[in-house]
Structure 1
């Protein structure tokens, strides 16, 4: 079966094949209805609204979709009346199965935004060779096939994005966390990351576009 990765805006992605459908970080900046349609399980990296649209996701969990995430994110969903038996707290070092996928949980903390802003828990997920770091720098022990690389945010610079991509050394980079950029900024950052991170292919996906992990074919 061919595995397909689809971006649904900002940091929200889906992994799909003929029978498995796994959603990661359905936040307020993404195309939520499309992202949630047919999802069998949800992974959340942290509690920020651009990664977790609490009310909409709680509704999806009430509809029977199980969810895994760090304790503060799960607590928000409990407060929104999501069923407790479908909510699962994870932390770095855990291994879980979600929507039929084997998932490694990595990391611990969100990147520093400012010393005056307390850090929050942030986990990363490694699924079928795809690394979703949330808003943190995570260094897996083995080289991922795809690094979902944040390229914009109030907590880091282009230098940090390039250095993180070089550290991870994935075969392909799919830029994420770009919901605050206009088209000019997006184009510039894609060009610079593609030029500066040698040895990794940059695959830029617009909302609703997919890449087949077996053959790299981009589809709309």
Structure 2
């Protein structure tokens, strides 16, 4: 999966699944980490040249993990929305950048686009917070805690497969709305093996399927190469 030639000329990206919603992307000797939160490994952010955080919930944003990565690499930088930047920017002047929907930037050699503005509704009694998603190198999209459909083609979707704010029919309809070529599960830290198996069947040949996208699941620490 994901080993065909890259028609756009972008170098392939090696994606390593970390705990829950965190992924590590590596290209040309540089590393970008998205959402190293409290359900991820303690070392999930270490070694990063760039860090992206989609929103402030602790399963996506863990200040201690970010601080460890920033202190280990004095050149590392963070790109995130205002609510997170306000919590950590004082400790790392000039190294924490606030971004929002529609912004584009380069982070450690990766081209990044920002899509989305709000977290999905958990319950009407719970105020909505801000949330942004990131398209990296025009190749892979991490939506954070939202079902954002970017106004651009998505090759590889990192799918938030299980959360208090979604149900399976919404997950499936979201994949079909984005219409990616391939899907890898994220946001699965609350699922046991039974739950992972069920979602795998429902998104695969044993269920309604994804509408044509190739679906896969990675265990923490497993790696796959992404290329067009």
What per-residue deviation string (whole Å, max 9, x for no partner) do you get for residues 108-138 of structure 1?
Answer: 0000001111111100000121000000111
Equivalent residue for 1:27? 37
Counterpart check, 1:130 vs 2:160: no
Deviates more, 1:56-65 or 1:9-18: 56-65
Q: Quote how far apart the aligned CAs of 1:19 are.
A: 2.1
Q: Quote how far apart the aligned CAs of 1:154 are.
A: 0.6
Partners of 2:184 and 2:67 in 1: CA distance: 28
Equivalent residue for 2:124? 115
Does structure 1 conserve the Cα–Cα contact (< 8 Å) formed by 2:33 and 2:52?
Answer: yes
Counterpart check, 1:207 vs 2:214: no
Does structure 1 conserve the Cα–Cα contact (< 8 Å) formed by 2:135 and 2:141?
Answer: yes
Q: Quote how far apart the aligned CAs of 1:43 are.
A: 0.3
Does structure 2 conserve the Cα–Cα contact (< 8 Å) formed by 1:61 and 1:82?
Answer: no
Partners of 2:42 and 2:142 in 1: CA distance: 18
Equivalent residue for 2:3? none
Matches within 5 A, 1:48-127: 48-63=57-72, 64=74, 65-78=76-89, 82-127=91-136
Q: Which of residues 183, 189, 210 is equivalent to 1:197?
A: 210
The unaligned stretches of length 5 or more in structure 1 are: 216-220
Counterpart check, 1:178 vs 2:191: no
Give the root-mean-square deviation of aligned CA atoms.
1.4
What per-residue deviation string (whole Å, max 9, x for no partner) do you get for residues 66-96 of structure 1?
Answer: 1011111111224xx5212111111000001
What TM-score does the superposition give when structure 2 sets the normalisation length? 0.89
Partners of 2:42 and 2:91 in 1: CA distance: 17
Q: Quote how far apart the aligned CAs of 1:140 are.
A: 1.4
Does structure 2 conserve the Cα–Cα contact (< 8 Å) formed by 1:59 and 1:82?
Answer: no
Partners of 1:111 and 1:130 in 2: CA distance: 20
How many residue pairs were aligned? 212
Does structure 2 conserve the Cα–Cα contact (< 8 Å) formed by 1:62 and 1:82?
Answer: no
Does structure 1 conserve the Cα–Cα contact (< 8 Å) formed by 2:36 and 2:61?
Answer: yes
Does structure 2 conserve the Cα–Cα contact (< 8 Å) formed by 1:62 and 1:83?
Answer: no
Partners of 1:32 and 1:98 in 2: CA distance: 23
Deviates more, 1:199-208 or 1:135-144: 135-144
Give the number of the structure whose residues are more often helix, by fraction: 1
What per-residue deviation string (whole Å, max 9, x for no partner) do you get for residues 137-169 of structure 1?
Answer: 111122211100011111110111001100001
